Amino acid sequence: MKRFTHPILLSCYSTVLFFLMVVGILHISCDSFVEADSPQSQLPSEAVFENYATASAAITDIYAKMRDRGMLTGQSSGISYQLGSYCDELDYYGSPTAAAAAFNTNALLPSNNLVQDYWSVAYNQIYAANSVLERLETSTALSEEQITQLQGEAYFIRAMVHFYLTNLFGEIPYIKTTDYRLNSRAPKVTVKEVYSFTIHDLEQAATLLEKDYLRAERTRPNRYAVLALLSRVYLYDEKWAEAANAASVLLNATELYTLQSDLKRVFLKESKETIWQQQPSIAGKNTDQAASFIFFTVPPPSAALTAEFINSFASTDLRKSNWTGSMANASSTWYYTYKFKEFYNTPVSKEYPVVLRLAEQYLIRAEARAQQGDLISSKEDLNRIRQRAGLAQALASSKEELLQAILEERKLELFSEYGHRFFDLKRNGQLDQALSTLKPGWNTTDRLFPLPQNEINLNPTLLPQNDGY
Amino acid sequence: MALCSATKLEQRTLANQMSISLTNLNIMNYSSFYKDGKTLYCIIFSCLLLSFSTSFAGNVNRKPHVFPQEIKIQGTVTDGHAPLPGVSITVKSRSNTTAITDYNGQYAIYAAPKDTLVVSFIGFKKVLMPVLGRRTIDIKLEYDTSTLQEVKVNAGYYSVKESERTGSIARITAKDIETQPVTNVLATMQGRMAGVAITQTTGMPGGGFDIKIRGQNSLRSDANAPLYIIDGVPYASDPIGYSQTSTPFPTISSPLNSIDPSSIESIEVLKDADATSIYGSRGANGVVLITTKKGHKGKTMFFVNASTGASSVTRFAELMNTEQYLSMRRQAFANDGITTYPPSAFDINGTWDQDRYTDWQKTLTGRTALTTLFNAGVQGGSDQTQFLLNASSSKQTTVFPGEFTYNKTGVQLNVTHASTDDRFKLTVNTGYNLQNNNQPAADFTYNARYLAPNSPELYNEDGSLNWAGNTWLNPLRTLGATFRAKTKDLITSAVVSYELLNGLQFKTNLGYSDLNHVETRISPSTIYNPVANITSANSSLFVAETQRNSWIVEPQLSYDKTFDKSKVSIILGSTFQDQTSTSIAQSGTGFSSNSLIYNLASASTSRTLFSDKIQYRYQAFFGRINYSFNERYIINLTGRRDGSSRFGPENQFANFGAVGAAWLFSKEKFISGSNIISFGKLRASFGTTGSDKIGDYQYMDTYTSTGVLYDGNVGLQPSRLYNPDFGWEVNKKLEAAIEMGFFKDRIFLTAAWYQNRSSNQLVGIPMAATTGFNSIQANLDALVQNRGLEFTVRTENFKGNNFSWTTNFNISSNRNKLLEFPNLQGSSYSQTYRMGQPLSLQLLYQLESVDPQTGLYRFTDLNSDGKITNPDDKQIIIDMTPTYFGGLQNQLVYKAWTLDFLFQFVKQKNRNATLDPAGQMANQPVRFLDSWTQVGDDAQYQRYTAGYNSAAVTNAYLFNSSTASVTDASFVRLKNIALSWKIPLNLHAVQCNLTVQGQNLLTFAKYKDGDPEFTTYGYLPPLKTVTAGIQFNF
């Protein structure tokens, strides 16, 4: 050690060390040190749209999100369940403090989590669709067909989500860009305008998409799926002729679509009645709808069909025996929606959530024709549905009676499917009449949901709040 | 060779100032070191060194070591009445001869008869004792309170004498930590440090703490954590769990639980710019420096500490009993005009026994949890090498039903070595900690507060869970749904230093940390009523694993030099840090048997919910220049240039710096003779720090893989709203403080005033959902100010031979204010913040009273539009910042007895229990008995409703967002009490203490809804703990 204490030599060592250190620092201290590796789970956005598989993944992920979250999920948080409970289909047995309880008592608050979720999840899906549309414009690697098909799907998604939003919330912003500077202050537009934008988007989608399905399982929308939604929007927008025409295109496409005569088979994956269904997240999984509605214990853990609803089936109506199930104890019987029957996973999935199906198109055309005064053709369409349910021909003789019969038929045919019942009563102005006696908490203003409080805070151009909140 | 030497000789003659010694001439013997064509290097280096040598070489000379005949000297060191163990005795001018006293204060040392012994011990005056040929020398040391000013305080890259520091640094040491029967390092700091506000978020073992040093700087609620440094290695405190698995806690699992309090020597918290600017971008929220224990030279000593005790909930909420509850329910239905109770109202429609009463808080959270803490180790070493090995283990059970435990085990090894010439030094620290936590997946506290008091029995007679005919969800069903976490954490660091020349030191900090955390949560089919026939095909498993490792290299040069009255210290250094985190979260459902539930491969369907690997890179250059003149005037300059991978290429680098100054006015002539003032210092600092806490990769425009399948494709979603242009958040800190000691420092005061201003706020600016997202990352041109005062007082109230009493007191008050916010009214924060108000404000409705006519709450209709609406009427501002907080600690020593206790106090507001409308099927605080029942009632609370009166329901929710929802939650808590008794053993080198320790034993508060310390209501409150233990050293 003595050697190290020698001053000159020590200095030698010191200088070497110092020199090495300086060189070392200069060597590694260039700016590149702070360049981190890219995250494994992320892909630069431009790269996503330079490859068909990843570009498709950007679209199909929106379907997965529609299936799993927000308004259109089959889970109990979706509108199939919640609007059933909000309207006259379901009695609620779950926790009185859950966000869902307020749906049943029609006591929604602007702070309700589910309401907020419907709103924000929907606009996130719309953003994703707009992002696809904008980025496809600059994509160079995809073929023309690939681009048109993805664009068509994006327009379809954008239209569909806005359509449901406006039916829940009334006036809403219609979002067509990803620019947050515009979107954060986006103003509301009237329901009429929403319909006209929706129709415009769907018309574009209809020209962009092919008639043939991309997947035999009908999990990607084709031109007919667009028309199926379009006919509904026309109907809601009271454009009777257009509604009837759009429905006719579908009803005439018999090579693809026919009514399933056996009610038990209507919701099977292979059903010819299906226009668009969603693929489950996991092979072997069936629908969230089945898991939401079916129960094995009584009193039911969360919800059961109301007695009024069950009693409105005629005794011969096959839909009661095929599409509802029941559980009883010593004193009472409770009924549940049994359209989707597979509660558990199966080795191969048997049922997919069906979003659009042919029966609705008959009822749309029936209603549009009745509105146009064509009672005979209207009745023909209505009777197709009644006949399948094992019911006699409709008796209605006047336009009003016929419209009422169609409304009643829609109730029994489309129950527990994406809030049809609530929307039908609403657009026919019959909500108060149907619900005020049945539901003690019902107020006329409950026809619209409250705009989420948080959204009003963040974007005051959404004011005024809907009436009653 | 010859050339080399010749050149040197030549140069040496030129440098005739250089001292020439015999050893210098030996250079020829060593020049062979540079053989084989290294001559050129030799020349260059020689020239270089000779150009330095005039100024340095003179000091390098060493006195020749002479060892005349030595004798053995023995004796005892005492403080006048008791022996002092651990006192160091050296021989003057021979630093390598040292002895340490044993537990009986005895020492033995070899010295020459003419030598002088130097006896020193922290807290006592140094004694110089000439040997004078004696063989037995007993030494009495005198207490020296001012030596507390001599303690070296760790400031991170350097340490500084307490009296000379220019920055604001709070400190606790092992002495404060060891009295506390806790396992979390943040718990040990509560109430003991001025300016450091710590709130326990849950009493569940393994849960977390919220820490704010001098208030909230950032608008981002998750960006206010300080920087943690353990033995020089930054320790990432970012959460390591996953939302689907960390369900028992209000926040996702934090890695800080890994740190073992028994291994800590001291914790320093750096607060002002002077102390934190050298940490640049990461110093904005303060820096917590944790130094682990080191070995001391001397006899090899073994130590064992063991304690065991019991814990229970501090306070329960005051809830209704069955009679009160049922009368509320009946009244609720009566109020709503409902005479036939609905079938689902099991509590009053006759389904459930209406005479039953269960105190659910006691049943579900009222058990006594057991705590065992144990640590043992050995330390010792020679003059050159010292070591310390400590192993610790703790076990805690819970207050919940069922068998749940939290186990923690750790090993820590520290080795320090110095070469005989003291130039080369090496310190290696390695700590390895294991945690094994097994808890219920859901905190029972929520159930305990909300269950109807006449809910059915938990168990049937046969011992099975009682489902009462499917009329309730038995709270114990979730016992089988467990949360398990295993954390392994390795932190190792090394400091290598070499004194190149006198005063010039090259040092490198090296650090590596590796954390592995696996969390699982199971949801077995047994949580469902067996009647439902739900089988293990519906059982599910969630697994989340996080691996995080980081390395750091910090080469530094430091130079210290004293010229006459001036003293200069310079540090130059750089930092290279890399942190890589890999995380994966998976779920599995459908098992053939619940016994296989922990095996993901046995799940019929499994999914990867999340999987990612992210890298964080950080680089910096830093420096410090400290100049002091005449030990009175001190100036300290620090600076740092930082680069972070968290920003886009244009914004990666930024500069931070600070200036601090101190004036020790007590050394000036006009005071130095004073009998009253023994110490006086004024100090001030100003500087900038920053923050890059925004998460990684946020500036990139990407799509993220969702892991969700559709159409045979795993989805891709837009990751975020894209903004590449955000940069560093800047925090400007200003501080002024005075420190004064009176009567030989028996009274010591510090008072500090500070003002921190954060600008260029790095936030996820909340966005309306119509943008597709909730927020966008950006720099917001807002200015947040924290301004406050901190006082500490230390007094020695009594000092006698048998009895002494010291008191420490600290109190802090912080005022937070939003000073600037461009276009706040038109921004997305318009209903979150107010100009000139603190960030922690709440905007609330003003509750007026209960309308005696309608029985409904009346709120102030601020805009007089006849409706109570948000946001127009929700404008009453309540400040939730604690008004002040602090602690009062006393230590009393009487002979072998020591009593230490700490009262923590917080003056604050907090939320009442967030309640559903009273009258629904959920229990309520007993205060709700004062509710309106009939016209004319003047009640505190509105009419009950079973949920059918929508006006009452709406008003009940408005009430939760009204001024009535906030209440005084100030408290004074006996945070810690420790009594220890040193057993008077007459054994050589053996010491034994018996201790009784208590944590959170008493809480005084007006707050009614449970314990007042929480961040989110509804989680298990902090527990009170009593332990008894033994400490054994030999």
CATH number for the domain spanning B205: value is 2.170.130.10
Question: Is the pLDDT at B298 greater than 80, yes or no?
Answer: no
Residues B234 and B174 placed together within one structural domain of the fold? yes
pLDDT of res. B12 = 43
Residues B213 and B281 placed together within one structural domain of the fold? yes
Alpha-carbon distance B830 to nearest alpha carbon in chain A (angstroms): 7
- Displacement of CA A283 from its chain's centroid (Å): 21
Evaluate whether residue B182 is within a structural domain: yes
**What is the pLDDT confidence band of residue B64, given thresholds at 50, 70 and 90?**
very low
pLDDT of res. B2 = 40
Judged by CB atoms closer than 8 Å, whether chains meet at A97 and B922 is answered as yes
Q: Chain A, 364-403: which have a CB under 8 Å from a chain B CB?
A: none
Question: Is the pLDDT at A303 greater than 70, yes or no?
Answer: yes
**What is the pLDDT confidence band of residue B20, given thresholds at 50, 70 and 90?**
very low
Higher pLDDT residue, A442 or A14?
A442
Nearest CA in chain A to B869: A469
Domain boundary among B85, B109, B143: B143
pLDDT of res. B430 = 94
Which residue from A34, A48, A278 is facing B644, i.e. has the nearest CB?
A34
Q: What is the mean pLDDT of chain A?
A: 91
**What is the pLDDT confidence band of residue B124, given thresholds at 50, 70 and 90?**
confident
Nearest alpha-carbon partner for B978 in B915, B1029, B930: B1029
If you average pLDDT over residues B115-142, what whole number do you get?
83
Which residue from A16, A215, A441 is facing B45, i.e. has the nearest CB?
A16
Judged by CB atoms closer than 8 Å, whether chains meet at B534 and A64 is answered as no
Residues B13 and B111 placed together within one structural domain of the fold? no
* Neighbour count for residue B464 (Cβ, 10 Å): 9
Distance separating alpha carbons of residues B1019 and B202, to the nearest angstrom:
6
Judged by CB atoms closer than 8 Å, whether chains meet at A345 and B616 is answered as no
Evaluate whether residue B169 is within a structural domain: yes
pTM over 0.80: no
Judged by CB atoms closer than 8 Å, whether chains meet at A123 and B711 is answered as no
Evaluate whether residue B795 is within a structural domain: no
Cα distances (Å, whole numbers) of residue A245 to A193, A251, A423, B677: 21, 10, 22, 99
Question: Is the pLDDT at A348 greater than 60, yes or no?
Answer: yes
Residues B53 and B136 placed together within one structural domain of the fold? no
Judged by CB atoms closer than 8 Å, whether chains meet at B706 and A61 is answered as yes
Judged by CB atoms closer than 8 Å, whether chains meet at B711 and A63 is answered as yes
**What is the pLDDT confidence band of residue B675, given thresholds at 50, 70 and 90?**
confident
Whichever domain contains B131, its CATH number is 2.60.40.1120
Judged by CB atoms closer than 8 Å, whether chains meet at A61 and B708 is answered as yes
Distance separating alpha carbons of residues B381 and A462, to the nearest angstrom:
73
If you average pLDDT over residues B220-227, what whole number do you get?
84
pLDDT digits (tens, 9 = 90+) for B856-873: 999 999 988 887 877 788
**What is the pLDDT confidence band of residue B51, given thresholds at 50, 70 and 90?**
very low
If you average pLDDT over residues A276-300, what whole number do you get?
90
SS3 category, B117: strand
Judged by CB atoms closer than 8 Å, whether chains meet at B574 and A39 is answered as no
Evaluate whether residue B54 is within a structural domain: yes
Distance separating alpha carbons of residues A128 and A58, to the nearest angstrom:
8
Domain boundary among B276, B297, B318: B297
Higher pLDDT residue, B362 or A96?
B362
Which structural domains are found in chain A, ordered by start? Answer: 43-209+429-464 (1.25.40.390), 213-296+318-336+350-417 (1.25.40.390)
pLDDT digits (tens, 9 = 90+) for A313-329: 999 999 999 999 999 88
- Is B110 exposed, middle or buried (CB count within 10 Å of its CB: 0-12, 13-18, 19+)? middle
Contact criterion met (CB below 8 Å) for A338 and A327 = no
pLDDT of res. A31 = 55
**A284 chain-B contacts, CB cut-off 8 A:** 604-605
Judged by CB atoms closer than 8 Å, whether chains meet at B49 and A28 is answered as no
Cα distances (Å, whole numbers) of residue A174 to A127, A164, A182, A183, B770: 11, 12, 11, 9, 9
If you average pLDDT over residues B766-789, what whole number do you get?
89
**What is the pLDDT confidence band of residue A208, given thresholds at 50, 70 and 90?**
very high
Residues B180 and B279 placed together within one structural domain of the fold? yes
Question: Is the pLDDT at B245 greater than 70, yes or no?
Answer: yes
Judged by CB atoms closer than 8 Å, whether chains meet at B920 and A57 is answered as no
Residues B214 and B244 placed together within one structural domain of the fold? yes
**What is the pLDDT confidence band of residue A6, given thresholds at 50, 70 and 90?**
low
> For chain B, percent helix, then strand, then coil, each to nearest 5?
15, 45, 35
If you average pLDDT over residues B60-86, what whole number do you get?
68
Among B519-528, B650-659, B946-955, the minimum mean pLDDT is found in B946-955
Nearest CA in chain B to A57: B715
Nearest CA in chain B to A303: B344
Q: Chain A, 226-265: which have a CB under 8 Å from a chain B CB?
A: none
pLDDT of res. A27 = 52
Nearest CA in chain B to A39: B614
If you average pLDDT over residues B198-216, what whole number do you get?
90
Which residue from B420, B619, B831 is facing A33, i.e. has the nearest CB?
B619
Domain count for chain B: 3
**B42 chain-A contacts, CB cut-off 8 A:** 12
Q: Which range among A415-424, B157-166, B685-694, B1003-1012 has the greatest average pLDDT?
A: A415-424
| Residue B117 belongs to domain spanning | 71-143
Could you give the angle at the alpha carbon of B306 between the alpha carbons of B300 and B307, nearest 5°? 155
Evaluate whether residue B122 is within a structural domain: yes
pLDDT of res. B318 = 92
Nearest CA in chain A to B723: A180
Evaluate whether residue B628 is within a structural domain: no
Evaluate whether residue B225 is within a structural domain: yes
pLDDT of res. B56 = 37
Nearest CA in chain B to A55: B716
Q: Alpha helix (H) ranges present in B380-462?
A: 445-450
pLDDT of res. B145 = 53
Mutation to test the A interface, candidates B728, B770, B780, B824, most A Cβ within 10 Å: B770
pLDDT digits (tens, 9 = 90+) for A424-454: 999 999 999 999 999 988 999 999 999 998 8
Question: Is the pLDDT at B764 greater than 90, yes or no?
Answer: no
Judged by CB atoms closer than 8 Å, whether chains meet at A97 and B500 is answered as no
pLDDT digits (tens, 9 = 90+) for B991-1012: 888 999 999 999 999 998 889 9
pLDDT digits (tens, 9 = 90+) for B562-579: 988 899 999 999 999 999
pLDDT digits (tens, 9 = 90+) for A232-262: 999 999 999 999 999 999 999 999 999 999 9
pLDDT of res. B795 = 93
pLDDT digits (tens, 9 = 90+) for B709-724: 898 888 999 998 888 8
Judged by CB atoms closer than 8 Å, whether chains meet at A54 and B950 is answered as no
E strand or H helix that includes residue B128: strand B127-130
pLDDT of res. B730 = 87
**B56 chain-A contacts, CB cut-off 8 A:** 7, 11
pLDDT of res. A369 = 97
Judged by CB atoms closer than 8 Å, whether chains meet at A301 and B555 is answered as no
Q: What is the mean pLDDT of chain B?
A: 86
Among A232-241, B35-44, B280-289, B581-590, the minimum mean pLDDT is found in B35-44
Q: Can you list the pairs that B525-534 forms with residues at least 24 positions away whose Cβ atoms lie under 8 Å?
A: B525/B594, B526/B477, B526/B480, B526/B594, B527/B477, B527/B478, B527/B480, B527/B481, B528/B477, B529/A297, B529/B467, B529/B470, B529/B477, B530/B467, B531/A296, B531/A297, B531/B467, B531/B470, B532/A295, B532/A296, B532/A297, B532/A301, B533/A296, B534/A296
Residue B946 phi, psi (nearest 5): -85, 5
**B33 chain-A contacts, CB cut-off 8 A:** 9
- A347 in B contact zone (CB under 8 Å): no
If you average pLDDT over residues A33-62, what whole number do you get?
89
b/e code B573-590 from CB counts within 10 Å (16+ = b): bbbbbbbbbbbbbbbbbb
- A328 in B contact zone (CB under 8 Å): no
**A17 chain-B contacts, CB cut-off 8 A:** 498, 500, 506
**One-letter amino acid of B882:** P
Q: Chain A, 406-445: which have a CB under 8 Å from a chain B CB?
A: 440-441, 443
Tell me what percent of the residues of chain B surpass a pLDDT of 70.
92
pLDDT of res. A7 = 54
Q: Chain A, 146-205: which have a CB under 8 Å from a chain B CB?
A: 173, 175, 178, 180, 183-186
Nearest alpha-carbon partner for B654 in B553, B555, B760: B760
Judged by CB atoms closer than 8 Å, whether chains meet at B774 and A120 is answered as yes
Residues B114 and B189 placed together within one structural domain of the fold? no
Judged by CB atoms closer than 8 Å, whether chains meet at B770 and A175 is answered as yes
pLDDT of res. B8 = 44
- A53 in B contact zone (CB under 8 Å): yes
Alpha-carbon distance A467 to nearest alpha carbon in chain B (angstroms): 11
Residues B174 and B284 placed together within one structural domain of the fold? yes
**B828 chain-A contacts, CB cut-off 8 A:** 184, 457-459
If you average pLDDT over residues A205-233, what whole number do you get?
96
Nearest CA in chain B to A21: B555
- A4 in B contact zone (CB under 8 Å): yes
Cα distances (Å, whole numbers) of residue B886 to A180, B27, B741, B814, B1023: 45, 63, 21, 12, 20
Contact criterion met (CB below 8 Å) for B516 and B487 = yes
Question: Is the pLDDT at B38 greater than 70, yes or no?
Answer: no
Distance separating alpha carbons of residues B707 and B495, to the nearest angstrom:
44
Domain boundary among B58, B87, B104: B58
**What is the pLDDT confidence band of residue B67, given thresholds at 50, 70 and 90?**
low
Parallel, antiparallel, or unpaired: how do β-strands B196-200 and B209-213 relate?
A: antiparallel
pLDDT digits (tens, 9 = 90+) for B313-336: 999 999 999 999 999 999 999 998
Residues B50 and B129 placed together within one structural domain of the fold? no
pLDDT digits (tens, 9 = 90+) for A373-412: 999 999 999 999 999 999 999 988 899 999 999 999 999 9
Distance separating alpha carbons of residues B652 and B643, to the nearest angstrom:
5
Residues B166 and B129 placed together within one structural domain of the fold? no
**One-letter amino acid of A215:** R
Residues B202 and B119 placed together within one structural domain of the fold? no
Task: Match 């520290």 to its residue by tokens.
Answer: B414
pLDDT of res. A23 = 56
Question: Is the pLDDT at A18 greater than 90, yes or no?
Answer: no
**B53 chain-A contacts, CB cut-off 8 A:** 7-8, 11
**What is the pLDDT confidence band of residue B988, given thresholds at 50, 70 and 90?**
low
Residues B50 and B77 placed together within one structural domain of the fold? no
